[in-house]
Structure 1
C-alpha cells in the first residue's frame, strides 16, 4: 500500500499514478531514510523527454534527416532572409559544438539542403545558408512538427499550459544558470 505522506503538498495518487510514482513508492519502502520525491519531477521529465523524442522525430527521419539536422535547418530558417549564419552562430543557436555543426553542414550540403560560402563580411569566414530545397523542406516540416506538438498538448487546459510554461521556464533558468 502506498504511503502518500511521502508526497509533499497536494499529491493526488489517482491523478498522478504512473511508473515514476511506483518507483518513488518502492524507494520510500526500501529506503525510508531518503526523500525520493524529486523523482516525481525529474524522473517524469526524463521519461517524457524520451517519449517526446520518439514521437516527434519520425517526420524528420521520413525526410531523411538525422537528429540535429532539422534543428540546423530550423535555426537557419528562423534567422530570416537571407537564411545564413556562421558555424559559430549556428553553434550558439543550437547549443552544440562547432564540430557538431560542421558534421551536420557536410551532411546537409550532400543532400542539397544547405550551402557553404565565403562570408561577405570576412573573406576568411564561411557562412551556411539554406538552399531553395532546404527552405521548402524546412517550411513543410515545421508545419508538421508544430501540429504534432499541439496534438501532444491538446489535453491540457490553457491554464495548465501557462502554468507548465512558467514552471518549466523557472526550472530551466535554475538548472542552466
Structure 2
C-alpha cells in the first residue's frame, strides 16, 4: 500500500535512486508530475468538451474567437498566434468547425486575398455553454487545494512558464 501523499512519480524516483544513486532526479519528479497532471486534466476536460460535441482543439479555436470580443472575428494569422499551432493544423480546425456550422469564412475587407474567421450564432451559443461548463470543471479539478495553495502554485507555475515564454 502506498504511503499517504506518495504518488506514482515517487515510485519511479525511488527506482532511479536505487539503480542510479549518482543522478539527481529531483527535476524528473517535478516534470513527471506536471506531465501526469496534464494528462489527467486533459482527459477531464475532453469529457466536458465532448458533451458539447467539441474537442480541446475545436474548443480552443471557438474560445479564442469568443474572447476576442464583438464581432467575434479574427484572421487565420491571429488565430495561429493565439493557439500556437501550424497553419495546416489551423486550416483543418477551421474546415471542421465550418462544416459543423460553428464558424464561417468572410472576405477580409482589409485584404482582398484574405479571409476572416467569424463565430456563427450557433458557434457563439455552443462556446458560451461549453466555457461555462469548462470553468465549473476547472474549479472542481482544483478543489482539492486550499485557496492559498492554489495561489502559491499559480505563482510558481507562472514563474516557471516565464522561463520558456
How does the TM-score come out when normalised to structure 2?
Answer: 0.95
The residue aligned with 2:99 is 110
- Give the Å deviation of 1:128: 0.2
Indicate whether 1:157 and 2:138 are aligned.
Answer: no
Q: For the pair shown, which has the larger CA radius of gyration, 1 or 2?
A: 1
Counterpart pick for 2:125 among 107, 126, 136 = 136
- Give the Å deviation of 1:122: 1.6
- Give the Å deviation of 1:39: 2.0
Indicate whether 1:23 and 2:12 are aligned.
Answer: yes
- The more displaced of 53-62 and 158-167 is 53-62
* Runs of at least 5 residues in structure 2 that lack an aligned partner in the other structure: none
Indicate whether 1:85 and 2:74 are aligned.
Answer: yes
CA distance 1:129–1:46, shift in 2 (3 Å): same
1:1-150 alignment runs, 5 A limit: 16-150=5-139
The separation in 1 between residues aligned to 2:29 and 2:3, in whole angstroms, is 14
SS in 1 for 2:26: coil
2:48 touches 2:137 (CA, 8 Å); kept in 1? no
2:45 touches 2:137 (CA, 8 Å); kept in 1? yes
The separation in 2 between residues aligned to 1:98 and 1:90, in whole angstroms, is 9
The separation in 2 between residues aligned to 1:95 and 1:166, in whole angstroms, is 23
The residue aligned with 1:167 is 156
> Which of 1 and 2 has higher RCO (CA within 8 Å, sep 6+)?
2
How does the TM-score come out when normalised to structure 1?
Answer: 0.88
* Runs of at least 5 residues in structure 1 that lack an aligned partner in the other structure: 1-12
The alignment covers a number of residue pairs equal to 164
Provide Cα deviations, 1:125-154, integer angstroms capped at 9, x if missing partner: 100000000000000000000000000111
- Give the Å deviation of 1:15: 5.4
- Give the Å deviation of 1:59: 2.2
The residue aligned with 1:7 is none
